[in-house]
């Protein structure tokens, strides 16, 4: 799970649907699901990390534990 305040001032909760390995982006302030990344990894997702890069983009890094796979997602809202 990961919670962060985005560049657009949206308070995000990021969590996993473990059955399907989907990443779910939830807006805490408005209490609604913003987006869902279907089958983000082939294996179990071990964790997330949020980064704000120098181009002022919200990036989410997801890590798969089984095959040490790392993916970067650009969170555009």
Distance from C-alpha of 16 to C-alpha of 2, rounded to nearest angstrom: 10
For residue 8, the Cα-to-chain-centroid distance in whole angstroms is 16
pLDDT 10s digits, 30-66: 999 999 999 899 888 888 899 999 999 999 999 988 8
pLDDT at 18 over 90: no
Cα angle vertex 64, ends 4, 68, to 5°?
A: 125
Q: Give the confidence band of 11 by pLDDT, cuts at 50, 70, 90.
A: very high
Query: Residue 11: how many CB atoms within 10 A of its CB?
Result: 13
């Amino acid at each position: 799970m990961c919670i962060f305040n985005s560049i657009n001032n949206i308070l995000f909760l990021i969590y996993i649907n473990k059955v399907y390995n989907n990443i779910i982006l939830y807006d805490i302030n408005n209490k609604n699901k913003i987006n869902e990344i279907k089958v983000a990894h082939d294996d179990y997702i071990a964790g997330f990390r949020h980064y704000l890069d120098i181009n002022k983009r919200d990036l989410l890094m997801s890590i798969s534990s089984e095959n040490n796979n790392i993916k970067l997602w650009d969170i555009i809202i």
